[in-house]
Structure 1
Amino acid sequence: MPKLRLDQAPPATLPLRFLLAMPCWGVAGAALLLVDGDVALLTRWHPATLALVHVWTLGILGNAMFGSLLQFLPAAAGAQLHGWQGASALHALFNLGVLLLVAGLHAQARWPLLAAGIVLPASFLWLGAMTIPGLVAAAGERLLRAGIGLALAFGMLAALAGGGLALLLARRIAWPLAAVDAHAGLGVLGWMVLLLATVARVVMPMFQGTASVPPRAQASWLAVVAMGLFAAVVAHLRYPADRTLPLAVAGGGASFALGALWLQQRVPRARHSALFLHWRAGLLALALAALSLAAGQGMVAGALALGVGLPLLVGGMTLEIVPFVDWIALRRRVPRGVQLPGVQRLLPDASRRRALLAHGAAAPLLVAAVLWPMPWLARLAALGQLAAWSVHGYALASALLAGRAFLRRVGQPA
């Protein structure tokens, strides 16, 4: 297990910009579903559906993963960030790109799509330029660095493919359906699941008390999933009717989810923290999503994976990362000899559990609205999402407010 290098952690504002944007996009997604409840959950091809999916994948999950990576790489992997001083511009560029894409997809508007087709791939390439040189140059933790590097490569490929699709749509050229599927597979399995599985080998033993995955098993899984995904994408582009790609994505997602659930089974009940429960619920949803995808139920799989499972996994981690980042910032600002509040005091477990309960209440409403597509049920699901992301955002903000209150008590400027 890697040793945390707190002195190498970046300034708190660098990851926090992205992590605090995540619940804001969650609220925006709920508003979209509230407005478009008549049509948003009927088919994957409706403009409202495309807009909502990209709020989930880029606005919520993208911001969480960008911010988490920028904190995790220096502190846990020992990888220096190149040009991190420009992270505020990266945050602005990325979120502008998401806004342009969502608006362009929703309105089928040419100029927002043209701009998004350039801005979003540029954001991912910028993230790669900021992180990959440090990953290559760092010493030790080769398996961790290799997994993150693979995920970043797939993320950049998915972004380039998505940018090309946005440019085609802007020019009113019909999408090649196989290319859309390839873009989705690269993004969901190659970027999101691969990155989560790589980081899970560190965070599950560290924060959830699970056993560690043997290096050989982790390396074999990474190799099989990465090569299998690449081969499946190539095959799908050549033979669009082939079922290899959805089965590869389902198999990769299911193997991660079931493996992680098996590791959690050995953790004593006394250690079932809010993060543990977030991950258990998220992993169960991801396993069900993989089963639905293998069965050909793409809409149900999308709701379970993108609307429930993956947000629970990354959302649970943000509830750990934000107070930890704030604690590091306090450690740097407070004079020696002053006792710092613990991370759990900045954001108590009860607040994290409230966020989990809110997401847990919203999740079945969203799945039900896909299974039984009725406008009133879709809007009820939207209200559930609105409540869940509001509670989540309040929890993150309360951790930062607790840190500022402590600074005022010890006579430091907040």
Structure 2
Amino acid sequence: MSALDFAQAPPLARPLRWLLLSPLWGIAAGAWLAWRGEAALMGRWVPETAALAHVFALGVLGNAMFGALLQFLPVAAGCPLRLGRAADALHVAFNLGILALAVGLCAPSAGALALAPLLLALTPLGFAWAALPSLLARGARRALRGGIGFALIALLLTVAAGALAAFALRGDAALALEPLVDVHAGLGLLGWVLGLMAAVGSLTQPMFQGARRVPERALAGWFMLAGAALVTGAALRFLVDSQTGLALALALPGALWVLASLLLPMATARRRDAALVQFWRAGSIALGAACALAPLAAAGWLSERGGLAAGALALGVGLPLIVTGMLLEISAFLAWIALRRDCPRGLRIPGVGLLVPEPDKRAVLALHLVAAVALAAAVLWPAALARIGGGALALAHAATLAALARALRRARSFRDTLPPANRPHTHEEPQ
């Protein structure tokens, strides 16, 4: 951790409000599935299913990733993120945008569909404006910073494609909706989500999991492959109407990322069997299965239910498992940084592992694995199991939220037990 600049950490509340919304949206996704039942798993073009997919993609994953960026960029990447209190306004706009999109799809409401892209675009534009200049400047850790820049650019393209799809859905633009939505999904999943995970994971996996560090050239090579896959896949989808070509193009870098995430923690003498490694391992296996199923479904070798299974394994199981594992670690790390910065020097403070201990992480992991099996089964047999899958999802994300709340209570309890002379002092808010 010697390369981390703790002095640049934002106030605890700023990234935390994003991180806490992630499991809340997970609870909402589970409740929605439990309420709507089979109707929420009928097909990718069904409004209830589309709303559920976006609650996972934006609510669960988006909140966690933006919250992590607020902390990671200034502390670990050496890139000041001069959003200040504007980040709080973006947080409100982003989550209102998710709600507007869900209402617009399911009501349906043309007004909500027009408002949602505007609200959702503010956060990517704000983060890109604040971060891209320093990310793309010359300096150390070029592959890491370039990878995050790649992910943010992919996010901007994802937002643009999503806005065009919303306008086409409203009838305001004469665009081919199906290829546009496919490319929108590919940009979001490979470019933004996996791109950010690859960049951030190149630093956090060695730090938290004891994994081997990815060589800079290998990391840069993966981003070049991912960029080429996105361009090739989009061209095949738009120009020759090949959904299979797009799926294959996206599956290749996705499968390579899965392989690396599984092997790197094993190829070291410092291998750890902590719950975080198990979160990553289970999530990577689910993502690998999605990469295998998606091209088969696109080629018509599987039924539409097989395509839904691929989407559920990626958006509802694999990525949330990885994000939840990191969420527990990052939230404890944030609370530890706040204690370290606020308390007098020389005072021994609880370590990260005491704020979210392994038994808490293992309990959350067990519930998420049960929810993963329940969701996969619900996709295959929706009439019988959709409501059970929704309940399991809501319970797993509620357990995540409870674990985060306990970590904050432990940090607060430590502060409360300090004698007055050692109580946390005030400090200026970093910009």
User: Shorter-chain-normalised TM-score: which range?
Assistant: over 0.9
- Does the CA contact (< 8 Å) of 1:33 and 1:378 recur in 2? yes
8 A Cα contact 1:111 1:170, kept in partner: no
What is the aligned partner in structure 2 of residue 394 from structure 1? Answer: 402
1 CA distance for matches of 2:352 and 2:149?
30
User: What's 1:252 paired with?
Assistant: 253
| Amino acid in structure 1 at the alignment position of 2:379 | V
Provide the residue aligned with 1:407 in structure 2.
Answer: 415
Equivalent residue number for residue 343 of structure 2 = 334
How many Å apart are 1:2 and its aligned residue?
8.1
Equivalent in the alignment of 2:382: 373
> What is the identity percentage for the equivalent residue pairs of Structure 1 and Structure 2?
44
Is the partner of 2:344 in helix, strand or coil?
A: coil
In the TM superposition, 1:130-141 aligns within 5 A as: 130-137=130-137, 139-141=139-141
Structure 1 window deviating more from structure 2 (224-233 vs 16-25): it is: 224-233
- In the other structure, the counterpart of 1:303 is 312
CA apart distance, 1:242: 4.6
User: Which letter maps to 1:313?
Assistant: I
User: Match of 1:38, SS?
Assistant: helix
Q: 1:138 to 1:390 in 2, by over 3 A?
A: farther
Does the Cα contact within 8 Å between 1:205 and 1:212 map onto a contact in 2? yes
Give the match for residue 92 of structure 1.
Answer: 92
Contact 1:359 1:388 in 2 (8 A): yes
User: Normalized against structure 2, the TM-score is what?
Assistant: 0.92
User: What is the 5 A alignment of 1:2-401?
Assistant: 3-137=3-137, 139-171=139-171, 176-267=177-268, 271-296=272-297, 297-374=306-383, 376-401=384-409
Larger RCO (CA within 8 A; separation ≥ 6): 2
Amino acid of the structure 1 residue aligned with 2:364 = A
Query: Tell me, what secondary structure is at the counterpart of 2:40?
Result: coil
Residues 82 and 133, structure 1, Cα contact 8 Å, conserved in 2: no
Deviation digits for residues 85-138 of structure 1 (CA, Å, limit 9, x no counterpart): 311001011111111111111212111111002111222111211221232347
State whether residues 2 and 77 of structure 1, in contact with CA within 8 Å, keep that contact through their aligned partners in structure 2.
Answer: no
What do the CA deviations read for 1:33-82 (whole angstroms, capped 9, x no partner)?
Answer: 01111211121011100110000000000001101111111111100002
Show structure 1 runs of 4+ deviating over 4 A: 172-175, 267-270
Alignment deviations for residues 368-390 of structure 1 (CA, whole Å, 9 cap, x no partner): 1112222x300000010011001
Where 2:411 maps in the other structure, the secondary structure is helix
Distance, in Å, in 1 between the alignment partners of 2:314 and 2:84 is 31
Query: Do the aligned residues in 1 keep the contact of 2:209 with 2:271 (CA within 8 Å)?
Result: no
Rate the CA distance shift 1:311–1:206 in 2: closer, same or farther, 3 A: same
Letter in 1 for 2:356: L
Range 391-400 or range 119-128, more displaced = 119-128
RMSD of Structure 2 on Structure 1 (CA) = 1.8
Q: Write out per-residue CA displacement over residues 118-163 of structure 1, whole angstroms, 9 at most, x where no aligned residue.
A: 1112221112112212323473110100100001100110011112
| Distance in structure 2 (CA, Å) of the matches to 1:75 and 1:25 | 27
Looking at structure 2, the residues matched to 269 and 334 of structure 1 have their Cα atoms a distance apart, in angstroms, of 31
- Aligned residue for 2:85, secondary structure, equals helix
- Give 3-state SS (helix, strand or coil) of 1:129's partner: helix
Give distance in 1, aligned partners of 2:60 and 2:296: 27
Higher mean displacement: 275-284 or 78-87: 78-87
User: Is the alpha carbon distance of 1:196 and 1:2 closer, same or farther for their aligned partners in structure 2, counting shifts above 3 Å?
Assistant: farther
Alpha-carbon shift at residue 270 of structure 1 (Å): 6.8
User: Contact 2:328 / 2:361 at 8 angstroms: preserved in 1?
Assistant: yes
Post-superposition shift, 1:343? 1.1
| Counterparts of 1:41 and 1:190, CA distance in 2 | 26
- Post-superposition offset of 1:175: 5.4
SS in structure 2 at match of 1:39: helix
Uncovered stretches (5+) of structure 1, i.e. residues with no partner: none
Aligned to 2:300: none
Distance in 2, Cα, partners of 1:306 & 1:349: 26
* Cα distance in 1 between the residues matched to 2:35 and 2:176: 26
Alpha-carbon separation, structure 2, partners of 1:84 and 1:301: 39
**Matched residues in 2 for 1:71 and 1:234: separation?**
36
User: Using the alignment, how far apart are the partners of 2:307 and 2:102 within structure 1?
Assistant: 21
Q: Could you tell me how far apart the structure 2 residues matched to 1:241 and 1:147 are?
A: 28
Residue 269 of structure 1: how far off its partner (Å): 9.1
Task: Report if aligned partners of 1:117, 1:167 keep a CA contact under 8 Å in 2.
Answer: no
- Secondary structure in 1 aligned to 2:10? coil
Whether the aligned pair in 1 keeps the contact of 2:344 and 2:424 (CA below 8 Å) is no
208-217 vs 264-273, which moves further: 264-273
Whether the aligned pair in 1 keeps the contact of 2:206 and 2:212 (CA below 8 Å) is: yes
How far 1:278 moved relative to its partner?
Answer: 0.5
Matched letter for residue 85 of structure 1: R
Equivalent residue letter for 1:318: L
- 1:247 CA drift (Å): 0.8
Q: Deviations over 1:316-348 (max 9, x none)?
A: 101000011111111222123321111111111
